[in-house]
Structure 1
Amino acid sequence: MTLARRATALVLAVAATLALAACAPTSPADPQASAPAGGEQQSDPTMPPTCKTILPETLVADFESYGLVPVEEPFSFGDPATTSIPDGVECKWGNADIATDHGVQLFGWAPIDAAGTEKWLTYLTEQGWTRTEGDGLIYLSDPFEGVEGVTYAFADGYVVLADSKEFVQLVSPR
């Protein structure tokens, strides 16, 4: 399969997963809202998060079927040396055999308290990130892409990261 066909297939797989996730309840007060897309079981919240446990099993299987593997790094707001959150994970899913930043999918999850939320909301706002609110979340999106690209979503007790605002819902709140 050519690289172009793989990329197209990946985009279709992610789109299908998003379509399924859109059917799930989104109200934070709804106990079902914390369940990952597709009705899958959440990973054990007492275990450290990994690239394979913060996403729905079906999405992980789709990524792996296209030859994508995760590169696991500390969750950060830029430079991991100065902005990392302990106990969090940031995942870049891509094809290790191809040196590119195209076709890479970005996801992350980290625990965060109220003081940390305030600190990082202030930091990102000062950096020019676009703030929106909805569904019980505070979103900060990368202003440099002209669209709601890379996005952090802050909730009570955790923050998630995805390469677009729409993909935030794929990350399990644990």
Structure 2
Amino acid sequence: MPTPFARLGAALSIAAIAALATACAGADPEPTATATAAPTVTEAAPEPVVTETVEPETPDPTCETIIPASTVEGFESIGWTVLADRFYLGELELADGIICTWADFEGPASDNLQRFGWAPITDEAAADAQTALVAAGWIREDGAAGVYITEDPETTISADEEGYGMTYLFADGAVTFADTKQGLLLIEWPN
């Protein structure tokens, strides 16, 4: 029969083995030293600066600005002056537009003159004006620059080399006018 001390020794041995087994099973491994990079300090991105883009204000068109300065000088050199008028398309007044008639208003009355015009126009108003002009006998032509509406050649008082008299050009939110189709080439508005 084992002695009480032997039982106690066996119990302590079993307890020691159990403690050792528990310690080995649940113990975390020893930490190993690893190389880590030093934290990088980054500066915050600067706040974007919001600046308002202010479009330069386009002045209103005038008889001296819708055509080249050299043309104005040429008219003035022969004694011509200009008469500015409202821009009408039939009954429709285009309030922000202008029609300019260059002539010798001090001399005897004649049909020796030049007319130029420019006005902003909405697509809807342009379509309505084109329909009204064609219904009144004007002729429509589609071109690379836009839609040309020109007076009937049989009623033209003054025509260019190609036989065109008064002509409107509808393009890009604007309508231009000249007493001949070739005259439209002189209109440079907006600059």
TM-score calculated relative to the size of structure 1: 0.69
**How far apart, in 1, do the equivalents of 2:110 and 2:116 lie?**
14
Task: Choose which of 87, 104, 109 in structure 1 pairs with 2:113.
Answer: 104
Tell whether 2:155 aligns with 1:139: no
Contact preservation (8 Å) 1:49, 1:88: yes
Residue equivalent to 2:75: 63
Inter-partner Cα distance in structure 1 for 2:181 and 2:61: 21
Q: Give the partner amino acid of 1:103.
A: N
Relative distance call for 1:97 and 1:170 in structure 2 (3 A) is: same
Q: Supply the distance in 2 between the matched residues of 1:71 and 1:103 (Cα, whole angstroms).
A: 14
**CA 1:132–1:49 in 2, change beyond 3 Å: closer, same or farther?**
same
Once residues 91 and 101 of structure 1 are traced to their aligned partners in structure 2, the CA distance between those partners, rounded to angstroms, is 16
Is the Cα–Cα contact under 8 Å of residues 158 and 173 in structure 1 kept in the other structure?
A: no
Match of 2:98 in 1: 89
For 2:127, the equivalent position in structure 1 comes to 118
Q: Aligned letter for 2:136?
A: Q
Distance 1:158 1:89 in 2: 12
Output one character per residue of 1:33-89: Cα deviation in whole Å (capped at 9) or x when no partner. Answer: xxxxxxxxxxx87211110010000000000101111100001124xxx33111100
CA distance in 2, matches of 1:111, 1:123: 18
Instruction: Please identify the structure whose Cα radius of gyration is greater.
Output: 2
Does 2:175 match 1:163?
no
Change (3 A) 1:111 1:45: farther
Distance in 2, matches of 1:163 and 1:101, equals 15
* 1:50 lines up with 2:39 in the alignment: no
CA distance in 2, matches of 1:115, 1:71: 29
Inter-CA distance 130–70: structure 2 relative to 1 (3 Å threshold): same
The structure whose RCO (Cα within 8 Å, separation 6+) is larger is: 1
| Separation of aligned partners in 2, 1:57 and 1:110 | 19
Q: 1:164 to 1:86 in 2, by over 3 A?
A: same
Q: What are the ranges of 5 or more consecutive residues in structure 2 without an aligned counterpart?
A: 1-55
Q: Cα offset for 1:100?
A: 2.0
CA spacing shift, 1:113–1:142, aligned 2, 3 Å? same
| Identical pairs, percent | 34
The answer (yes or no) to whether the contact 1:138–1:153 under 8 Å persists in 2 is yes
Shift of 1:136: 2.4
2:12 aligned partner: none
Whole-Å separation in 1 of the counterparts to 2:114 and 2:87:
15
| Off by >4 Å, runs of 4+ in structure 1 | none
Does the aligned pair in 2 maintain the 1:152–1:159 contact within 8 Å? yes
* Alignment RMSD: 1.6
Distance in 1 of aligned mates of 2:101 and 2:168? 15
